[in-house]
Amino acid sequence: MGDSDSDRALHGPLRDMGALGFAPGEVAVVTGSGSGIGRAVALTAAKAGLTVAVWDIVPEWAAETVRLIGELGGKAVAVTVDVTDPAQVSRAWEATLPLGSCRYLVNNAGPPSMDQGPFRENLLKALGSVEDVTSQWLARCGDVAASVVSIASVAGNFQGSGKANSAFYPTAKTGIVGFTKHLATKYGGRPRANAIAPGFTLTPRTIPYLANPVVAQNVANIPMERAGFPEEVAAGVVFLLSPAASYINGVLLPVDGGMAIS
């Protein structure tokens, strides 16, 4: 998405997913979409025809995602928000609603996996924020809400990851899956709720972790013999979000090159 060789090395192709059944004017909210997987999801969603609300805590990052969507011919708006603050989330929804029918939500924002902050505080940030953003979405858009996809992880759900992540991270990511299954059954598929479990994915946040021998060995053990690109995760997210996945509800889809079974 940038001009340097090093930046291009972090990215795969942006897939054209325009035949998945999204209707013109529908809106997707993507939290944490100023960089990494979130940005790739926002770009893929825009290329599929959705209007995207780019939610991020860093205004400049959100603005850059909006600029990139504009280059694709898509429509987007940047919304500055810390999703761990319910009042800010409420204001973000009020800023988003004028865009149109907010049928789709992607819960991507969360603290880094190696954040050394207090366990309870990080757990609230990583898991509590997903519940709050989703609940506020349902309160405002429940009559049109079609699909929510939340970003979990192979950590916790398929691997213990005790040597590669802080304790809160696998705990929160398994909690996100539990919350997803709760939504999927409580609302009977209106909206559908699913989750994605990325393996090690190349983003500005994760690249420094490759210096950790445990992480490097985990990547070396991936059956596909490489880390994933954010665009590969995004393709799975946008598919699950879409009408093309109309009978998929309550699943956790690994997008990990086989990491979960290695």
How far, in Å, CA of 149 to CA of 248, rounded?
11
What b/e sequence results for 53-77 when a residue is b if at least 16 CB atoms lie within 10 Å of its CB, and e otherwise? bbbbbeeebbbbbbebbeeeebbbb
Is 104 considered catalytic here? Answer: no
Return the structure tokens found at 199. 């393996």
How far, in Å, CA of 44 to CA of 110, rounded?
20
Which 3 state secondary structure label does DSSP give 76?
strand
Return the structure tokens found at 49. 């025809």
Which 3 state secondary structure label does DSSP give 45?
helix
Which of 104, 169, 187, 209 is catalytic? The answer is 169
Q: How far is CA 240 from CA 105, 149, 195, 234, in A?
A: 11, 7, 8, 10
Catalytic residues: 169
